[in-house]
Structure 1
Amino acid sequence: MSSWNDRSPLPLRALQVFEAAARFQNFTAAGEDLGITQSAVSRKVSELEVILGVQLFQRSGPNLFLTPQGSALAVRVTYALGDLNRACAEVQPAAKSDVVTLSMLPSVAAKWLAPRLGQFTDLHPEIDLRISASRDLVDLRVNQIDGAIRYGAGQWLGLVAVWLGAETVCPVCAPDLIDKLGVTTPADLLYAPLLHADIVEDWAAWFRAAGLNDPQVPRGPKLGDDTAILQAALSGQGFALGRSQLVADDLQAGRLIAPFEVTLEASFSYWFVSPTEPGDNLSLVRDWVIKEFNRC
């Protein structure tokens, strides 16, 4: 079996096809997005697996899931391709007044914004919307960013902040994991694989809300980014504490389920911020974001 190293040429087309397959969790949908056949997607993914020497997808009946290696690669490839797209766009001539750049967390970009981008483009084809995804608190003025979707208490010095919405946190998992592990009560999760995040609303807090005093929360993988955590949950690796704004689409589509009604109120909310009162195009973007958050 061949393998890739840092002296080998990057299999860019295979990585592009893999990114689409990972995003849709479906080879047919990925092919439609790329304008190629389902079999072509399957071939490119197989080629990439041979090059890397790892399995990227696994099947469970009709369902397709990323392996842990596939999940890790998908996060990095998504960011890398996004950077390449932005680099190409930046060297193209464009009317400055038509460009709106938004900053947000990578998880918000991937799980909330990305599925809705087509709606925005259809509604406002005249606006060149660009996304800067970062876990760092970006200085909007220094980085020439027009606005941002931020997660916090709403107090950022020198910025105009508009409240978008709050959220709740609750356990989510792949649909077949419940029957596989025989989980029927919150206490059963004390013996299940748990995925941990760096949020205030942790598993100990949720177990207490579910009526379990002084729970001995089992250890498990801790992933710093919500995108990686939810991808691991989607591929059946364990239970995650899902933030309602980020899991809404997966719950609606049945890719994830929330087995218990016990929820935690999140400590922070989402806000739309800008250095000044937004101009025409940024106002259109802000109004659309507000509308979509209200719909969620």
Structure 2
Amino acid sequence: MSLPRRYLPSIPALLAFEAVARLGSATQAAAELSLTQSAVSRQLKLLEDQLGVALLARKGRGLVVTPQGERYVRTVRTTLQRLAQAGVAAQTGPEIGALNLAILPAFGMHWLAPRLRDFARTHPEVTVNLSTRLAPFDFRGSQFDAAIHFGREDWPGVGYLPLLPETVVPVCAPSLIATPLTDPQEILQFDLLHLDTRPRGWARWLRAVGQDSDPPPGMMFDQFSTMAQAAIHGLGIALLPTFFADPYLANGQLVLAATQSAQSIGSYYLVWPADRPCPPALEAFRDWLALQRTAAHAGDDHV
């Protein structure tokens, strides 16, 4: 690949620009990079002259990023991170490296994260980097090696490892309901909390326990974590996955609102691009997750 050299700045210039953009000060950037302030300023001028674009502007005694600089610095940070990761991989060998994984917040925090210590212990050669993504995306335009997906096998162009179905339970603050309701119809007398990615969650739960009533509208949340906090503060009854509800039930912040639970129509999967060779780090992680799935199916995640 041949690119015009005028579009390929030096690494010192990019490091100086990234640090100034983040810190808003050439003096602070110089201290972080162990350079003089004049050296940092010189690198910034070389970079702007080379690109022919003003990347920074002075504001009072500090520096702010221009709109052009804001767009550029995002790419610079990603590029520098990838170069650093490539350097680590080159030093440690092709069989060792990083795994960039896109996760769903609740599943990542409450199911995956507690288990990652075991993966780190058994696979110290792999570094797992986690970032949140709430919906399917195109792997070709991302840095991710794999992702956690909820729903059905409807993500095009990927391979699937089923992890576990989502089993949900209705929970609320102890002050709202003293003992679990035995008649699920009674739950309609309380405010119900809804998740925008599970708009039919309560309707499916009611039908699963033999009730044909439609649930009333209620407060809507975009994540289980905020909905759980609303339930803790007595704002209504939340429908939470068992792996998410367990810690709150164990410490008494939440209690079961009804004796019934129901399995939702969705499951969790590990997915990865089917048109790429599987890197060793992903292969190790996938094999390890398969063992975790076996433990979960044995009853590890039920209330």
TM-score with structure 1 length normalisation?
0.60
Question: Could you tell me which residue of structure 2 aligns to residue 231 of structure 1?
Answer: 229
Matched, 1:140 2:139: yes
Q: Which piece of structure 1 moves more, 240-249 or 89-98?
A: 89-98
Matched, 1:126 2:117: no
Question: Could you tell me which residue of structure 2 aligns to residue 188 of structure 1?
Answer: 186
Question: Could you tell me which residue of structure 2 aligns to residue 152 of structure 1?
Answer: 151
Question: Could you tell me which residue of structure 1 aligns to residue 163 of structure 2?
Answer: 164
**1:212 CA drift (Å):** 3.4
From the superposition, tell whether residues 118 and 92 of structure 1 become closer, same or farther in structure 2 (CA, over 3 Å).
farther
Give, in whole Å, the separation in 2 of the partners of 1:204 and 1:170. 13
* 1:48-101 deviation line (CA, Å, top 9, x unaligned): xxxxxxxxxxxxxxxxxxxxxxxxxxxxxxxxxxxxxx98x9389342341101
The alignment partner of 2:116 has SS state of helix
Q: Segments of 4+ in structure 1 off by > 6 A?
A: none
Counterpart of 2:289 in structure 1: which amino acid? Answer: V
The alignment partner of 1:93 has SS state of helix
Answer whether contact 1:201 1:267 (CA < 8 A) is retained.
no
Q: Which piece of structure 1 moves more, 227-236 or 251-260?
A: 251-260
Please list every run of 5 or more consecutive structure 2 residues that lacks an aligned counterpart in the other structure: 1-76, 90-95, 297-303
Give, in whole Å, the separation in 1 of the partners of 2:82 and 2:159. 30
TM-score with structure 2 length normalisation?
0.59
* 1:88-128 deviation line (CA, Å, top 9, x unaligned): x9389342341101112222222322333333333333221
**1:254 CA drift (Å):** 4.8
Counterpart of 2:256 in structure 1: which amino acid? Answer: A
Answer whether contact 1:101 1:131 (CA < 8 A) is retained.
yes
**1:178 CA drift (Å):** 1.9
**1:134 CA drift (Å):** 1.4
Question: Could you tell me which residue of structure 2 aligns to residue 244 of structure 1?
Answer: 242
Answer whether contact 1:103 1:138 (CA < 8 A) is retained.
no
* 1:189-235 deviation line (CA, Å, top 9, x unaligned): 222221112315422332343343335x3332111222222232244
Give, in whole Å, the separation in 1 of the partners of 2:182 and 2:155. 43
Question: Could you tell me which residue of structure 2 aligns to residue 50 of structure 1?
Answer: none
Question: Could you tell me which residue of structure 2 aligns to residue 93 of structure 1?
Answer: 84
Answer whether contact 2:106 2:223 (CA < 8 A) is retained.
yes
**1:150 CA drift (Å):** 0.8
Question: Could you tell me which residue of structure 1 aligns to residue 33 of structure 2?
Answer: none
* 1:129-166 deviation line (CA, Å, top 9, x unaligned): 10121113222232121111111212433222121121
Question: Could you tell me which residue of structure 2 aligns to residue 39 of structure 1?
Answer: none
From the superposition, tell whether residues 119 and 200 of structure 1 become closer, same or farther in structure 2 (CA, over 3 Å).
same
**How many residue pairs end up in the alignment?**
211
Answer whether contact 1:101 1:129 (CA < 8 A) is retained.
yes
Give, in whole Å, the separation in 1 of the partners of 2:147 and 2:175. 37
From the superposition, tell whether residues 173 and 274 of structure 1 become closer, same or farther in structure 2 (CA, over 3 Å).
same
Please list every run of 5 or more consecutive structure 1 residues that lacks an aligned counterpart in the other structure: 1-85
* 1:218-258 deviation line (CA, Å, top 9, x unaligned): 33211122222223224443211112343344445554333
Higher share of residues assigned strand: 2
Give, in whole Å, the separation in 1 of the partners of 2:180 and 2:279. 54
Structural RMSD (CA): 3.3
Give, in whole Å, the separation in 2 of the partners of 1:273 and 1:182. 37
